[in-house]
Amino acid sequence: MATDRRKEAALGVLVVVLAVLGYRQLADTSPASPPSSNQTRPAAAPARNGGAAASVTAPDVHLDALNNDRPKPAEAERNLFRFRPKAPPPPPPSAQPRQVGPSAAAPPQPVTPSGPPPIALKFIGTMKSEGKTIAVLSDGQGPPMFGIEGQNVAGRYRILRIGAESIEMEYLDGRGRQTIRLTGQ
């Protein structure tokens, strides 16, 4: 038991001696500090070499220049609002009562003047399985949907063509077609 403690103590002393020697070795071989980017003052000599720091002089300040007359701003006509016409007043609110009807399961889709509302699916990507290309679609609410060309998706749409960067779909009732890009828009 006593020999184990002596070995541990000797090992501890050896580690401390090696740490001190390593620190001294690294401190002596460290490179000199890089020169300052501010060249207005001379660099101070390191205290380790026994040299004294160089004297530092203050920059010249011309206090009499602060008391000189300053030029006055020129008189100019400035109008910040001269380039904008006055905004027209907002239209008065309509007096039509809101119709209360049965609530729809889906939020109302904006109707474009050129056809049916846009298909509310995003094209996420494609997969290959058994030689067929499978489209991966999402409605943003549930799990992703999968489909191949000619297959019905979400009970409302049919996949017409699957490309590398887009998919062409149509409504089941034949109201119109839409191309959805891989970015989802």
Distance between CA atoms of residues 16 and 139, nearest Å:
67
- Quick check: is 92 in a domain? no
3-7, 54-58, 61-65: range with lowest mean pLDDT: 54-58
79 within some domain: no
Is the per-residue pLDDT at 8 higher than 70? Answer: yes
146 inside domain = yes
Handedness of CA 16, 17, 18, 20 (dihedral sign): positive
- Tell me if 147 is assigned to some domain: yes
Please report whether residue 85 resides in a domain.
Answer: no
Is residue 39 assigned to a domain?
Answer: no
Pair of tokens at residue 156: 């409302």
Tracing tokens 């996949």 back to the chain, one arrives at: 159
What value does the mean pLDDT take over residues 29-47?
Answer: 57
Decide if 96 is inside a domain.
no
Question: How many structural domains is the chain composed of?
Answer: 1
Q: What is the pLDDT of residue 105?
A: 53
pLDDT at residue 73, as a whole number: 77
pLDDT tens, residue by residue, 64-101: 888 888 888 777 777 766 776 678 888 888 776 666 55
Supply the pLDDT for residue 29. 62
Q: Count H helices and E strands in the chain, helices first.
A: 1, 7
Q: Which domain holds residue 131?
A: 122-181
The answer to whether residue 176 is domain-embedded is yes
Query: 37: pLDDT confidence band, cut at 50, 70 and 90?
Result: low
